[in-house]
Chain A
């Protein structure tokens, strides 16, 4: 009986240890290599690295803001209304989460490429092309990362009892005021989690960007693309890839921790 419990605990401890080891080792490897290589800091300050970091921060932030603006109403409708095709809409939102980002890249090409479904008429009418532009980077990130926000927002809205909105409306609050002052604050922690997920996913987006937006420093070369290129290049090579990876990890960690702190400070129990 007691020995069985000890065996159980030992198994759990071993599993936890194995998982932790597997989780920590790759990062330990990164840090060890970076520390060993005297050029790491210099590489981090290089124009390639700074350009990529700036572009990544800007595009992922824009993509996240767009995901919030476009995704919140969608999430609200799916969470609160019953309509024909609701489950289909739900499934469509999950699609980019399940598919590899390269599929999203191909899909974007077929839709917004110069020979694409809407890309061709848009170029004919307005003379605008999306490919190889920063806009294309944002589009790729929005398609791949946006669903993470929408999914979290749906869960957030569904977690709030409709009673709150009903009562608010009988208290004289219109739909917008009810949404702003009641539903948003109550769904807040889910929404913030969704924003973090979306933002970090956008920061890490590689496949769709590479396929749809291409790769040019300062225009479309985000951190993941720069890391890939550094890895393949003679000048930067693996040390460059390591330096850029460490930068990305550091920035992501700082923002994640900052957001956690903000979320925790204003958390209230229900």
Chain B
């Protein structure tokens, strides 16, 4: 099972452009609302036509603007679930699921619906009307319905966003189980970073209609392609600097008077000495060290200016006492208490070279 997607079109004030491909993986489309995530699903489902594009699913061409091919939505075999679910309120659960079947009354249909009810833990709910179900049950009915036909890909448009956090946890687990059992590719739209991190095999970052970066989840989180992607994926520390030296896949930067070794980084060869860059380091990768050794590289002295506890984690704002940038750090509650971090206390902070990612500075970086 595999698909490829490539499309572009005018969309309101900006231009939509995206191209990516994957196998039977869970691809999370992540971005703010209006970034082009839902449009991607609608283009894939054939509900919108791109100005230029080529969409392929398991070797079948669904859209090809140069060959003037546009397979209509009913023939695409995509399972499309929208945020509001759109369960048909005048049909019971069984009828909703059977809606997608060619022969809705036969014994085969009955068996198929029974199978889906079992798969989604809905046994006994076949005769219920959608309005009498709980939020989680409705989600599962929508998924069952989307899977009922010969579905080759699941397109899920923020399916969990209307639910309580506790329900969402369960359904996310259920989705991962389904994906393992069915082996289908899934396109999952969300604007929830934690949800994206939990579910994604691959991550597609959208912003203002454009696909900014597509790749394996950890690659995108660790090595954002641009400061914008870094911001969108929650990188708390974006430190402007200048390249001093590039050597053997490693870069030496100068940031706010501090010297910072970075890497190994695959694209280190693209940088040259003197170039303006941005160094990215996630808040949770900022290290507090007990021994205040003042190394020349990758270390700085900082005072705890703010310490906010979210229960399991603390987010801390650090102000450099000497050279080096101000930073944001995240630390789990346990090491926080073991180290005895207090507001006003001064620490030696380490930024491990392998956790610092360097990007070319953007003129319009925000």
Contacts and interface: CB of A to CB of B under 8 A. Distances in A.
Interface of A: 161, 163-164, 166-174, 181-182, 185-186, 268-270
Contacts of A163: 82, 84, 86
Contacts of A173: 74, 99
Interface string B35-57: 00000001001110000000000
Given A172-B149, A270-B131, A167 B80 contact: yes
A268 B45 contact: no
B236 to A, nearest CB: 37
B80 A170 contact: yes
Contacts of B84: 161, 163
Contacts of B72: 169
B300 interface: no
Contacts of B145: 171
A47 B165 CA distance: 73
Q: Which of A166, A171, A182 has the most CB of B within 10 A?
A: A171
Contacts of B74: 169-174
Given A169-B74, A170-B74, A185-B90, 19 more contacts: A163-B82, A163-B84, A163-B86, A164-B88, A166-B47, A166-B80, A166-B82, A167-B82, A170-B45, A170-B46, A170-B47, A170-B78, A170-B155, A171-B99, A171-B148, A172-B100, A182-B88, A186-B90, A269-B89
B340 to A, nearest CB: 54
B102 A172 contact: yes
Contacts of B244: none
Going nearest first, the 3 A-B pairs with the smallest beta carbon separation are A171-B100, A169-B73, A170-B80
Contacts of B217: none
Given A172-B74, A172-B100, A167 B86 contact: yes
Interface string B70-100: 0011111011111010101110000000011
A185 B91 CA distance: 10
B129 interface: yes
Nearest to A171: B100
Contacts of B76: 170
A172 B77 CA distance: 8
A205 B79 CA distance: 51
A31 to B, nearest CB: 41
Contacts of B146: 170-171
A171 B146 CA distance: 7
A169 B76 CA distance: 10
B89 to A, nearest CB: 5
A98 B233 CA distance: 57
B86 A161 contact: yes
A171 B82 contact: no
A170 B88 contact: no
Contacts of B131: 268-270
A180 to B, nearest CB: 12
Given A185-B90, A268-B89, A169 B47 contact: yes
9 contacts: A161-B84, A166-B45, A169-B73, A170-B45, A170-B146, A171-B146, A185-B88, A185-B90, A186-B89
A171 B82 CA distance: 13
A172 B146 CA distance: 10
A270 B89 contact: yes
Contacts of A269: 89, 131
Contacts of A172: 74-75, 100, 102, 149
Interface in B131-161: 131, 145-146, 148-149, 155
A270 B132 CA distance: 10
Contact of A171 (B46, B90, B129, B149): B149
Contacts of B46: 170
- Most chain B beta-carbon contacts within 10 A, residue among A172, A181, A185: A172
Contacts of B90: 185-186, 268
A268 B47 contact: no
Nearest to B78: A170
Contacts of A161: 84, 86
B49 to A, nearest CB: 14
A200 B131 CA distance: 34
B64 to A, nearest CB: 19
A181 B91 CA distance: 10
B235 to A, nearest CB: 35
Nearest to A178: B74
Q: Which residue among B46, B79, B82, B86 has the maximum number of chain A CB atoms within 10 Å of its CB?
A: B86
A174 B76 CA distance: 12
A268 B76 CA distance: 32
A268 B129 contact: yes
B82 A168 contact: no
A163 B142 CA distance: 13
B73 A170 contact: yes
Contacts of B102: 172
A183 to B, nearest CB: 10
B261 to A, nearest CB: 52
A186 B102 CA distance: 22
Contacts of A168: 88, 99
A245 B116 CA distance: 60
Nearest to B76: A170
Contacts of B89: 186, 268-270
Contacts of A185: 88, 90
